[in-house]
């Protein structure tokens, strides 16, 4: 039996009108994609790690201190003062995040009202 040269794939010549040929189909990607729930899980794990570090810091600093803020003078545990400061910081971050989400939703709503509505599919 005579040896045959290796066959090469047959390709069509490029179109003469200057259009590009359609892209070759991509192989499906392996692995898991990033989802909202996976992001939430990662954020919760990081938050718990930070909380543990903050709690250790608070537990190690339990002596009483004098605190003055906007004319108020308090004498309380440093642990309580640190905990209150952490809570205040978290509330400020939540307020900033809420304001940004509200701003983005309003912008999206304005964009939807300006663009024409897509036609409804037939039969509905």
- What tokens does 52 get? 């543990």
Q: What values do phi and psi take at 44, rounded to 5?
A: -65, -40
Cβ 81 vs Cβ 88: under 8 Å: no
* SS3 state at 40: helix
Compute the distance between CA of residue 8 and CA of residue 56 in angstroms, rounded to an integer: 67
User: If you ran DSSP here, which 8-state letter would residue 35 be given?
Assistant: -
| Residue whose pair of structure tokens reads 């069509």 in the numeric block | 12
Q: Which of these ranges, 61-70, 86-95, 108-117, has the smallest mean pLDDT? A: 108-117
pTM strictly above 0.75: no
User: What share of the chain in percent tops pLDDT 70?
Assistant: 65
């Amino acid at each position: 039996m005579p040896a045959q040269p290796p066959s090469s794939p047959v390709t069509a010549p490029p179109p003469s009108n200057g259009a590009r040929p359609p892209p070759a189909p991509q192989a499906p990607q392996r692995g898991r994609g990033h989802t909202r729930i996976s992001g939430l899980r990662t954020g919760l794990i990081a938050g718990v790690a930070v909380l543990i570090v903050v709690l250790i810091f608070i537990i190690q600093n339990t002596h009483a201190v004098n605190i003055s803020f906007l004319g108020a003078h308090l004498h309380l545990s440093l642990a309580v003062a640190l905990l209150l400061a952490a809570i205040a910081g978290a509330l400020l971050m939540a307020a900033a995040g809420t304001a940004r989400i509200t701003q983005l939703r309003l912008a999206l709503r304005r964009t939807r009202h300006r663009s024409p509505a897509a036609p409804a599919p037939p039969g509905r």
